[in-house]
Amino acid sequence: MKHARVIYQDQTYDATEAAGGKIRLSDGRVLDEHEVSWLPPMDFGTTFVLALNYADHAKEIAFSKAPEAPVVFLKGPGSFTGHRHVTRRPADVGYMHYECELAVVIGKRCKHVPREQAYEVIGGYTVANDYAIRDYLENYYRPNLRVKSRDATTPIGPWLVDAADVPDPMNLRLRSWVNGRPTQDGNTRDMVFDIPALVAYLSSFMTLNPGDLILTGTPVGVSDAAVGDEIITEVEGIGRLVNTIVADDVAA
């Protein structure tokens, strides 16, 4: 099942997918997706972000080879925003790019999870567009807070899809469009470190809790996102996430 959270007439509702691309509120009303304001599909706990987890993307940004161990850093909760919301491009930056990513939601408290049992602790999946501001990057192994934790720089959703409804998360197509022009086209099977490896690695040294989130990296095809651009990121079977770039001085 696909789950979401939305605001309608100043009230927050849980929602599910309805036929014809519509949504069904928890009180039974069926609405068009443009009639509501979308929130992130849940409140997330600790968020782990993978850098350089697709070899083609690593080469795209001048790395001759993929890392030998997962490159992981953390993201603040204020960085998330919902489907069809805006993300601000700071006036002083020269390069800010989108990143289409499969996001893995932990469903059970766990530690020391063997990779062969990793899928047993996953609750679901969603789509993230994890913008990176290249100007602020110290280096790819130590991204600073201004790169990945700025307010509303990570659109996420629209849907949280139950893990049971995603039979093969390691064979999902990822695509992005900028103003309708296709730019990214990859597949989760091309991850350097697959989902079981990531769950096993993270749980080897810390406890994972329900609602913790793993952003699994992005394939080749990133480009600079300008003010006014509409960015669409899509993961096959999970959802299509729409976001627009605005100037930093635009009133909220």
CATH of the domain at 219: 3.90.850.10
The token pair at 29 is 């009303």
Question: So what's the pLDDT on residue 67?
Answer: 78
Domain assignment present for residue 177? The answer is yes
The burial of 40, by beta-carbon neighbours within 10 Å (0-12 exposed, 13-18 middle, 19 or more buried), is given as: buried
| 15 shares a domain with 101 | no
| 214 shares a domain with 123 | yes
| 22 shares a domain with 110 | no
Q: How far apart are CA 97 and CA 251, in angstroms?
A: 22
| 162 shares a domain with 111 | yes
| 20 shares a domain with 127 | no
| 97 shares a domain with 3 | no
| 84 shares a domain with 134 | yes
The token pair at 8 is 């309608």
| 190 shares a domain with 164 | yes
The token pair at 76 is 């603040």
Number of domains in the chain: 2
Question: So what's the pLDDT on residue 139?
Answer: 61
Question: So what's the pLDDT on residue 28?
Answer: 97
Specify the CATH number for the domain of residue 20. 2.30.30.370
Strands (E), 9-99: 11-18, 22-25, 30-31, 37-39, 47-51, 71-75, 80-81, 86-89, 96-97
| 228 shares a domain with 122 | yes
Distances 81 to 89, 128, 140, 242 between C-alpha atoms, Å = 14, 10, 24, 11
Task: Tell me which residue range forms the domain holding 35.
Answer: 1-39
Domain assignment present for residue 171? The answer is yes
Q: Which residue carries 């989760």 as its tokens? A: 188
Contact by Cβ (8 Å): 85, 152? yes
| 146 shares a domain with 240 | yes
Question: So what's the pLDDT on residue 142?
Answer: 58
- Per DSSP, helices labelled H in 158-221 are 195-203
| 113 shares a domain with 128 | yes
Q: What is the DSSP letter of 130?
A: -
Question: So what's the pLDDT on residue 250?
Answer: 79
Question: So what's the pLDDT on residue 150?
Answer: 84
Question: So what's the pLDDT on residue 135?
Answer: 81
| 91 shares a domain with 1 | no
Domain assignment present for residue 172? The answer is yes
Domain assignment present for residue 64? The answer is yes
The b-or-e profile of 214-224 (16+ CB within 10 A means b, else e) is: bbbbbbbbbee
Domain assignment present for residue 252? The answer is no
pLDDT tens for the chain, residues 1 to 252: 999 999 999 999 999 999 999 999 999 999 999 999 999 999 999 999 998 898 775 556 555 566 788 989 899 999 999 999 999 999 999 999 999 999 999 999 999 999 999 999 999 999 999 999 888 776 655 556 667 778 899 999 999 999 999 999 999 999 999 999 999 999 999 999 999 999 999 999 999 999 999 999 999 999 999 999 999 999 999 999 999 999 988 776
The burial of 139, by beta-carbon neighbours within 10 Å (0-12 exposed, 13-18 middle, 19 or more buried), is given as: exposed
